[in-house]
Structure 1
Amino acid sequence: MRRGTGVQSISERLSELAAETPDRPAITELAAGGTYREITYRRLFEDVSALAGLFDSWNRDMDGDAVICHPASVSIESAKTILAALCAGVTVLPHAPLIDAEVLSSALSRAGLSGHLRSVRMPGAPETDQGPGATVRMTRWEHPAEGRRPHYLLATSGSTGIPKLVPFRNFGGYDPRAVPDVVFRTCKWQSGQKQLIVLPIYHIGTVAALIQGVLDRNQLFLANQLDPEEMLDAIADRRIEWLMLTPNYLRHLLPAAARRPERLNSLNGLLHTALPCPAPLKQAWLDLLGGERVFEMYGGTEGVGVTVISGSEWLAKPGSVGRGLLTDIRIGDAQGLERGEDGIGQIYLRRFGASARTHAATPWLRSTSDGFVSLGDMGWVDEDGYLYVFDRAANQTATASGVAWLGRLSLVLRTHPDILDAECIALTDDGQVDVGMLLVTRDPRAVPDLAELERFCATQAGGHRFPRIHLQVAEIPRSEIGKPDATAIRAIFSSAGSRETRTPVTSPFEEEVPRGSTA
């Protein structure tokens, strides 16, 4: 039962938890080989308080305008850094550890902040430690259009270049009526649960799960680079009840999970997000866990709205990402006007209570005068209000032989029983645009049958131009959450040499986009 309904500061909430259960483990960091380290609620409060005092002094030195850029890892140190910044009221930007300083500076400048970065060594970090987390970078909050500084900033994936920064003004305090939030509650989150964090702690879902998990008296387990067997053993041994994954993690875990599914018995909820999930992969996890324990969320870092679907709903509506959760959905044209005809259009979302001013800080997104915002995806809504995402509008590519939808075609290829992973990309050579595909076969020694793949894609997703160029690789470059690294993928094709060294494939596919594809 919750105690009271008053709002507390983050520091007050941590102090309360430390007083109630001082010796209860708050965060346990699991490492390869079965090693681990943990921190109690009392020690967490003490360490976070000391770090918050240091951040406060740094903030005063910068006249109250400090922004701490933290190379976040799945670690106790990153958890303490984010919590300490919230306690001190200092804006924090958790980011990918290996992000280039020049890219980070450009992202800050584009967001209206100072691009000048100053490195500061974290307390207790040995001088010989040059790894991520040993230092943080600091800059100033210089955003004339924003009167109130955000509590934290998060970067978009940056898959098309420089990441964009999104300001967040939630989690300035602990409100027991809002923690856990409505999305997590819908996905079987229970207060005081044993919760596993696997995704990087600079992803919007993970940051929310981390902060709310601590404030909600959960026991958090951080999986630090565990292989599939070790992760599943940890879930069983620690009796994990809730976790969040991406389809890329689901794919890597599936073979081990299928061998010994009893290791998943403790789970109440598994939420997957961030990327489209191939239907066979989703079905395999529903077979393992059942429809009442698997959930999917669709949304974006920009926080324009979310949809959620349970596994049971998905079985009735295969391919859907659910209905709006405190979110209105509109299928519109390029200007955001609602389409009168049935079919695919641009997806617009509007959080309940949002207005046109709500998204002034995300000007790169297309928005309407009545508060609807598009993440750039195309799709449709069925007669029951369930949303289906077809592809990103930016993935529509015109080639000499017709139109290709790169994301959709990649997803369809990943459903083929012989293909473990696939990614399609636009390649430009002498002004001519072609589509190239990287393929990872389940049997590394097998040569893919391109004609059979083409027939499969024609059956599953008619309306796509099949790629003229293909390369077979051992692994596709992806981010930590599984998003394709377009720069690295283009480099692979470039290093493969001229078109003559690749495999050309022609296709007579029709160009129209089918409405009902659910691959």
Structure 2
Amino acid sequence: MNTPNIVSIMKALADKAAADPNRPAITCGDVTVTRAELESRTNRLARAYAERGVSHGRFVTVALPNSVEFYEACIAAWKLGATPQPVSYRLPDRERQAIVELADSALVVGVEQSAHPGRNTVAANFDASAYDDSPLPDVTAPAMKAPTSGGSTGRPKLIVAGDPGIVQVGAPGMGQKVDGVVCVPGPLYHNAPFSFGAGSLFHGNHLVLLPQFDAEATLAAVDKHRADWILFVPTMMSRISRLPEDVKNRYDLSSLTTVWHMAAPCPPWLKEEWCNWLGGEKIFELYAGTEAQAVTIIRGDEWLAHRGSVGRCVTGEMKVLDPDTFEELPPDAVGEIFMRNTRTTYKYLGAEARRSPDGWESLGDMGKIDAEGYVYLTDRRGDMILSGGANIYPAEVEIALSEHPDVVSSAVIGLPDEDLGNRIHAVVQVSKPVDEDELRTFLGERLVRYKVPRSFEFTSEPVRDDAGKVRRSALRDERS
């Protein structure tokens, strides 16, 4: 690459290592590697991967938990011009096998050979110390990443980034600094934690990871490492919010200048609480898909004047269409959100985009856009429940449930009902026993009667993962 200020990922990392070799690059739990150590280790690992069939333009499936090793595997792939393809290390073999076949992965990292007969694999904690650590020839991956989606339906798809593996030197995005400290407590197999964590490394940030999300451990990490930037999903914010005040006040968070949340709806009460706690000028929300056809952003103090909005478009375009006729709807009318961009931001493997006749694309989200261009989401088109002739959006019910002090998280689904077609059922994670009638009364003060669940199921186990995601289809199938 010889465009001014544009370099390959491998050169960006090598330049940072040369400039300050002993500065911490990645910390996860008690493990820290410096820039020089990361450069050396990933050069060795890249040679080991090349010996196992990884080459320019191929995919490398990374099935590792949050760790230094996770990013080492991704960097080794980039150094060969390959594209990392992160998946959950918890995936059943069968589901991961379907993804690997779709990607035709050159290598699967973090699994035993027996899980993928006929494929090259390396297990977790792979030792590449016997390989040469000298620099490799400069190369650029044609796609920076290829996350997956759709595993809950049994039809996985790859979302291959439209951007190659390049870095604009000195121009980090999303409020990140050059040579700052970034904390990513979420699971790296999800797009946002993976992408923003990787981007921070390219610009010399000390990337602080958590092996798995823990509310107090996150605050402790910010305090210890003086993080200036952090990424959450609302589930994490809620768990931190519910910590005792003396625990929250034990840690110094004054180093934080930018706090992002995304990937799931944030209950208004929770957003307001965080704006009051850390300052609305530090809180930012982003709405987009991994596909990134269009992006909205809103700052916390702006949100207070437009409660419930996810902001206005800063990249691409959005409009609201009738999901059946594709007619464009007027401001404030709820319909399906469609997006477009002047450049190609992604391509699917294993799926086709839902498109309107004029070529705009939908991610399946329902919502509205007001006269000022502020976007408001209601729910996923596929998650909407038709009960007794009424359209019910699970997210609205879940937000009301989240206001109860003993509710940790929830998932609302429709179950077959001879009379109503579907009845509203809530799976509710609670911190202590909750009386069903009391909860029904609590919701009746916040929701119209037909939106209050007809049945409840209480559990002490997490309903959502650490990224705030829930597999509704699996919950429905288990209970139908």
Deviation string 1:95-115 (CA, Å, 9 cap, x unpaired) is 100112221232355568899
Provide the residue aligned with 1:498 in structure 2: none
Deviations 1:301-324 (A, max 9, x none): 222221111001110111000111
Native 8 Å contact 1:336 1:367 kept in 2: no
Question: 2: CA distance between counterparts of 1:159 and 1:281?
Answer: 28
CA contact 2:149–2:156 (8 Å) conserved in 1: yes
Q: Which residue of 2 aligns with 1:308?
A: 297
Which residues of 2 match residues 69-218 of structure 1 at below 5 A?
A: 69-109=61-101, 118-122=119-123, 125=126, 150-156=143-149, 158-176=151-169, 179-181=171-173, 184=174, 188-218=175-205
Shift of 1:464: 4.8
Q: Is structure 2 residue 228 aligned with structure 1 residue 241? A: yes
- Cα distance in structure 1, aligned partners of 2:252 and 2:40: 35
Shift, 1:412, TM fit: 2.5
The separation in 2 between residues aligned to 1:441 and 1:113, in whole angstroms, is 41
1:343 CA displacement: 1.0
What is the aligned partner in structure 2 of residue 49 from structure 1?
Answer: 43
Give aligned-pair identity as a percent: 27
Distance change (3 Å), C-alpha of 1:55 and 1:125? closer
Letter in 1 for 2:313: G
CA distance in structure 2 between the partners assigned to 1:113 and 1:12 by the alignment: 25
1:497: which partner in 2?
none
User: What per-residue deviation string (whole Å, max 9, x for no partner) do you get for residues 417-462 of structure 1?
Assistant: 553322211223679532211223454354551541342243xxx4
CA offsets 1:264-321 (integer angstroms, 9 cap, x no match): 2111111001100111111111111011111111111222221111001110111000
Cα distance, 1:190 vs structure 2: 1.7
Between the aligned partners of 1:191 and 1:428, the Cα distance in structure 2 is: 53
CA deviation vs aligned residue, 1:57-99 (integer Å, no higher than 9, x gap): 3336xx8674321113211000110111011112321110011
Q: Measure the CA separation in 1 of the matches of 2:347 and 2:122.
A: 35
Question: Which residue number in structure 1 is paired with residue 60 of structure 2?
Answer: 68
Distance 1:479 1:163, change over 3 A: farther
Closer, same or farther in 2 for the Cα pair 1:300/1:113, shift >3 Å? same
Aligned match of 1:423: 411
Residue in 1 that maps onto 2:254? 265
User: Which whole-Å CA distance do the structure 2 matches of 1:401 and 1:39 have between them?
Assistant: 58
Q: Distance in 1 between matches of 2:244 and 2:282?
A: 15
Query: By how many angstroms is 1:213 displaced?
Result: 1.0
8 Å CA contact 1:438, 1:476 repeated in 2? no
Match of 1:227?
214
Number of the residue aligned with 2:397? 409
Say whether the 8 Å CA contact 2:429–2:463 is kept in structure 1: no
**Aligned residue number for residue 130 of structure 2:** none
- Which amino acid is the alignment partner of residue 168 of structure 1? A
The partner residue of 1:399 within 387, 403, 412 is 387
2:321·2:327 contact (CA, 8 Å) conserved in 1? Answer: yes
Q: Which residue identity lines up with residue 274 of structure 2 in the other structure?
A: W
User: 2-side partners of 1:446 and 1:463: how far apart?
Assistant: 18
User: Counterpart in 2 of 1:338?
Assistant: 328
CA distance in 2, matches of 1:118, 1:452: 56
Aligned partner of 1:158: which letter? Answer: G
Pair 1:374 & 2:362 matched: yes
Partner residue of 1:38?
32
**1:444–1:474 Cα contact (<8 Å) kept:** no
**What is the identity, as a one-letter code, of the residue corresponding to 1:216?**
H
Partners of 1:475 and 1:244 in 2: CA distance: 24
Shift of 1:342: 4.6
1:510 match: none
Q: Give the letter aligned to residue 205 of structure 1.
A: A
Distance in 1 (CA, whole Å) between partners of 2:402 and 2:333 is: 25
Which residue of structure 1 lines up, in the alignment, with residue 337 of structure 2? 347
C-alpha distance in structure 2 between counterparts of 1:359 and 1:154, whole Å: 11
2:52 partner SS? helix
Instruction: Give the conservation status (yes or no) of the 8 Å contact 2:157–2:349.
Output: no
**Contact in 2 for aligned 1:302/1:362 (Cα 8 Å):** no
Partner of 2:243, secondary structure, is helix
- Contact 1:241/1:267 (CA < 8 Å) preserved in 2? yes
Q: TM-score w.r.t. structure 2 length?
A: 0.85
Q: Deviations over 1:97-144 (max 9, x none)?
A: 011222123235556889976252259638xxxxxxxxxxxxxxxxxx
Shift of 1:331: 0.9
1:403 Cα deviation (Å)?
3.6
Partner of 1:29 in structure 2?
28
Q: Per-residue displacement from partner, 1:328-365 (whole Å, max 9, x unpaired)?
A: 110112254422475111111223x236x965658443
Letter in 2 for 1:349: M
Q: Is the aligned partner of 1:297 residue 2:310?
A: no
Are the counterparts in 1 of residues 152 and 474 from structure 2 also a CA contact under 8 Å?
no
Q: Secondary structure at the residue paired with 1:192?
A: coil
Matches within 5 A, 1:451-490: 451-458=440-447, 462=448, 464-486=450-472, 489-490=475-476
Task: Give 4+ residue runs of structure 1 displaced > 6 Å after superposition.
Answer: 111-116
Q: Secondary structure at the match of 2:242?
A: helix
User: In 1, distance between residues paired with 2:328 and 2:104?
Assistant: 33
Name which of structure 1's ranges 237-246 and 298-307 shifts more when overlaid on structure 2: 298-307
**Cα distance, 1:386 vs structure 2:** 0.7
Going from structure 1 to structure 2, the CA distance change for 1:393 and 1:286 (only over 3 Å counts) comes to same
> Structure 1 residues 227, 152: closer, same or farther in 2, change over 3 A?
closer
Alignment CA distance shift 1:116-1:65 (3 Å): farther
Secondary structure in 1 matching 2:451: coil
What is the letter of the counterpart of residue 202 of structure 1? Y
TM-score, structure 1 as length reference:
0.79
- Structure 1: where are the runs of 5+ without partners? 31-35, 127-147, 495-519
Is the 8 Å Cα contact of residues 401 and 443 (structure 2) preserved in structure 1?
Answer: no
Mark the CA change 1:79 to 1:492 in structure 2 (over 3 Å): closer, same or farther. same
The 8 Å contact of residues 184 and 209 in structure 2, kept in 1 or not, is answered as yes
CA distance in 1, matches of 2:27, 2:378: 39
